[in-house]
């Protein structure tokens, strides 16, 4: 593990010392790279961009609130919506805590600290040992995985979004936050297999609600030890590249971090801190090579929002980051489909051959196969054996 | 399971139809029974009762906040306090949500509903099937156990406590809440074995934080189905008799509900609802008979706050309920010890022979033995084999 901290500084033009980090993570970042503006993500654009804003888009958001209009189709009944929306309740409660002050914690703004850092700072002689301990505490507070990386300012949003006006506002962080603890919350296997449906969205709600509490607890733990800690969910920075840099997984064609224990079924959150910690390294296990030959997500995507070809620089629209060579979705098509369905969609998560219950030895064997030159065989078997098929939501209710 | 609802009504003098419920639960409630006033519990008295209030008592509460004074003894270092207080963060965040309105949600007031009940009411033809489903959803939202009972108004607090003045205020509930869903969150076995220590209190904090989120989610789920649901933790009613009536365990000499899966290591919460549900029955498994011959908790209690004799009517002070024949602690002595330690204490939970890791088959065998006439043998073995001994908190940090 590396313990020295690279001298990263916020800039739209990354200095040369990113080169090594990018090699390890498999990133290709061009000279035309620009930090991403949060107001360009689809969830923000739905509120300010005439090209995206619509009555239907607002209905999509509203359907997550109290009285969803039940569609009486399997997966879209009152019970399905009830479960999904209730699963979100904790994340929503945190998001609304400081609504009166124009904050949307966990989504457009980091969590407000419960208490400031203790005056007494715990002496840390061995950052590597402290890192192991922090990861153990993260698990104690409900995270399913945790990794640490240096704060790479390229992934910080260029600006945050002011949720009342949807105008940009500064993405301020305290000085000295050199490290990021990235955490993952695994999602329910059976629910994800019920995508697309309102019921399946309960897995997302549970992920976000779990994040909200783990981030609140772990960030307060760090502050109780005298260090700064800014707890963050979807706000403040792109978590995907950070999760990869922190060794939690590899980037997939479906735009997701494919993790070893939960495949693509993970919600990520992060804590920015000045606590001295050792850094994890990216840990590839064959995902890139697998995605090169597999197009199951792209094939299965109803609005054809996912790429079929190799990673590319370039973007379909302003919701994609500029200057990074990668598989990039057309988020307008993706979100457009959500709005039409009045529900989120993650078919690309469901059909991914890495979407398995890896507690089972046979599935771990399949994962190992996927990481070898026999990956095409694994893919063939995966399809042949019927993995990735939708499970009727009704089955979740009546197991 | 019983599905008809007894015609319970709030009264200080329970009607005759409690008799059957009390026989099943093993309760002996006398004619002089009076509902308990929440302001008589020690946590309230510390703020208004001259006999309890002290600088030290306030310091106890303060030590749960941001900057605990580290005592540098094993189990009381900055890390121990940091973990305990961070574990509480979510319960505290919920408690403080409506502080400005004089509420302390989950402790002196029930949780404010996120959204009111949906206008459309789910049709429930089979309350027994619905009950099984509600229990499954409770588990999905993080409860480790759940049971249902008729709302027995004797356990409702006679009054709530106004947290600004510590004066009594009405304990109002909406009409028609005939059922109670009681939930339990199991506590970490290793942490409980580290009692007494600040570290061990992290198990309590996790319990309360878990309760806060499960109650928020499950009560919103029920409201999303069109029914009323009032989410409650320590507020509104005594949960111990409700947990017993709901079949979650038996009452022990240590004042705790002894559950089958977690022994005494459980925090309980509840949801009051008008959803038609089937009722569980008390499920004794030999605890009463065991506690009759076992005095480990009473022996181990440093301030000797626990009774050595058989269940009795009568009370040491106003913090005990009136007119119930049961094992009753002297809460003034108990809380006085907490204040002296500047930390909570649950030695009586640690030394209880039912404090076992029942995931292990051998421990389930011991539990079965404890429920037979060989209970004295089990007790002898339990002591002989060294169960109930304190584990150094340092061991938790360095497993």
pLDDT band at B16 (very low <50, low <70, confident <90, very high): low
Nearest Cβ partner of A114 from B70, B81, B92? B92
**DSSP string for residues in B324-391:** EEB----HHHHHHHHHHHTS---HHHHS-TT-S-TTSHHHHHHHHHHTSTTHHHHHHHHHHTTTTPPP
Residues B288/B250, Cβ–Cβ less than 8 Å = yes
Q: Tell me what the mean pLDDT of segment B356-370 comes to.
A: 97
Residue B229 has pLDDT above 50, yes or no: yes
pLDDT score of B175 more than 50:
yes
Residue B66 — very low, low, confident or very high, per pLDDT cuts 50/70/90?
Answer: low
Is A114 in Cβ contact with B89 (below 8 Å)?
A: yes
Say what the pLDDT of residue B68 is.
66
pLDDT lower than 70: segments of chain A: 1-16, 66-69
B118–A67 CB contact, under 8 Å: yes
Nearest to A92 among B114, B202, B225 (CB): B114
**pLDDT above 60: residue B161:** yes
Interface touch A86/B120, C-beta < 8 Å: no
Q: What is the pLDDT of residue B315?
A: 82
For residue A70, the model assigns a pLDDT of: 74
Beta bridge partners of A147: A182
Q: For the whole model, what pTM was predicted?
A: 0.95
Residues A81 and A199: their CA atoms lie apart, in Å, by 6
Query: What is the total residue count of chain A?
Result: 399
What is the ipTM for the molecules in this complex?
A: 0.95
Q: At what angle do helices B127-140 and B201-224 cross, to 10 degrees?
A: 130
Check whether B336 has a pLDDT greater than 50.
Answer: yes
**For position B9, what pLDDT does the model report?**
41
**What are the tens digits of pLDDT across the range B248-284?**
999 999 999 999 999 999 999 999 999 999 999 999 9
Rounded CA-CA distance B82/B343 in Å is: 13
In B, what residues contact A, Cβ < 8 A?
A: 65-68, 70, 78-79, 81-83, 85-87, 89-90, 92-94, 97, 114-116, 118-120, 122, 133, 137, 140-141, 202, 206, 209, 213, 216-218, 220-221, 223-226, 397
Residues of chain B neighbouring A116 (CB-CB closer than 8 A): 66
Which among B93, B216, B397 has CB closest to A89? B216
pLDDT tens column, A194-245: 999 999 999 999 999 999 999 999 999 999 999 999 999 999 999 999 999 9
Cα separation, B243 vs B212, in Å, equals 17
Q: How far is B359 from chain A (nearest CA, A)?
A: 18
For residue B4, pLDDT over 70 is answered with: no
Nearest CA in chain A to B121: A78
The string over A43-72, giving b where at least 16 C-beta atoms fall within 10 Å of a residue's C-beta and e elsewhere, is: bbbbbebeebeeeebeebeebbebbbebbe
Q: Which of B41, B113, B91 is nearest to B213 (CA)?
A: B91
Looking up tokens 């109290």 gives A66
Higher pLDDT, B7 or B65: B65
Interface of chain A against chain B, CB under 8 Å? 65-68, 70, 78-79, 81-83, 85-87, 89-90, 92-94, 97, 114-116, 118-120, 122, 133, 137, 140-141, 202, 206, 209, 213, 216-218, 220-221, 223-226, 397
Contacting residues of B for A140, CB less than 8 Å apart: 83, 202, 206
Give the pLDDT of residue A237.
Answer: 98
Q: Which of B66, B79, B86 is the closest to A217 by Cβ?
A: B86
Q: Are strands A29-34 and A322-324 parallel, antiparallel or unpaired?
A: antiparallel
Q: For residues A102 and B380, what is the distance between their CA atoms, to the nearest angstrom?
A: 62
pLDDT for A72 equals 76
Distance CA B141, CA B145 (A): 11
Task: Count CA atoms closer than 13 A to A170's CA, side-chain side.
Answer: 4
């Amino acid at each position: 593990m590396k313990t020295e901290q690279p001298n990263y500084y916020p800039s739209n033009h990354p200095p040369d010392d990113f080169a090594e980090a990018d090699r390890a993570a498999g990133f290709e970042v061009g000279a035309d790279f620009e930090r991403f503006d949060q107001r360009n993500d689809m969830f923000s654009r739905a509120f300010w961009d005439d090209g995206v804003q619509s009555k239907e888009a607002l209905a999509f958001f509203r359907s997550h609130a109290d009285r969803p209009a039940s569609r009486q189709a399997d997966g879209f009944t009152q019970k399905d919506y009830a479960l999904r929306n209730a699963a979100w309740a904790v994340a929503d409660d945190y998001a609304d805590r400081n609504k009166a002050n124009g904050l949307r914690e966990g989504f457009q703004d980091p969590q407000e600290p419960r208490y400031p850092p203790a005056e007494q700072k715990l002496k840390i002689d061995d950052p590597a040992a402290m890192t192991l301990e922090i990861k153990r505490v993260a698990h104690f507070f409900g995270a399913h995985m945790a990794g640490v990386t240096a704060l790479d300012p390229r992934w910080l949003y260029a600006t945050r979004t002011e949720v009342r006006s949807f105008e940009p506002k500064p993405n301020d962080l305290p000085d000295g936050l050199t490290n990021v603890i990235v955490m993952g919350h695994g999602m329910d296997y059976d629910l994800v297999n019920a995508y697309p449906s309102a019921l399946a969205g309960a897995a997302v709600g549970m992920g976000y609600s779990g994040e909200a509490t783990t981030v609140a607890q772990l960030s307060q733990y760090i502050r109780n030890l005298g260090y700064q800690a800014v707890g963050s969910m979807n706000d403040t920075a792109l978590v995907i590249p950070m999760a990869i840099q922190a060794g939690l997984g590899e980037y997939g064609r479906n735009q997701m971090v494919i993790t070893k224990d939960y495949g693509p079924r993970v919600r990520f959150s992060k804590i920015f801190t000045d606590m001295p910690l050792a850094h994890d390294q990216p840990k590839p296990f064959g995902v890139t090579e697998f995605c090169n030959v597999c197009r199951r997500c792209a094939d299965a995507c109803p609005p054809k929002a996912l790429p079929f070809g190799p990673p590319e620089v370039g973007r379909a629209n302003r919701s994609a980051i500029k200057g990074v060579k990668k598989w990039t979705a057309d988020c307008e098509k993706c979100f457009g489909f959500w709005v039409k369905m009045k529900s989120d969609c993650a078919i690309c998560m469901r059909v991914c051959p890495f979407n398995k219950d890896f507690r089972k030895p046979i599935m771990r064997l399949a994962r190992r196969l996927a990481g070898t030159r026999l990956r095409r065989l694994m893919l063939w078997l995966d399809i042949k054996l019927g993995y990735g098929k939708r499970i009727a939501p009704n089955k979740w209710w009546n197991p």
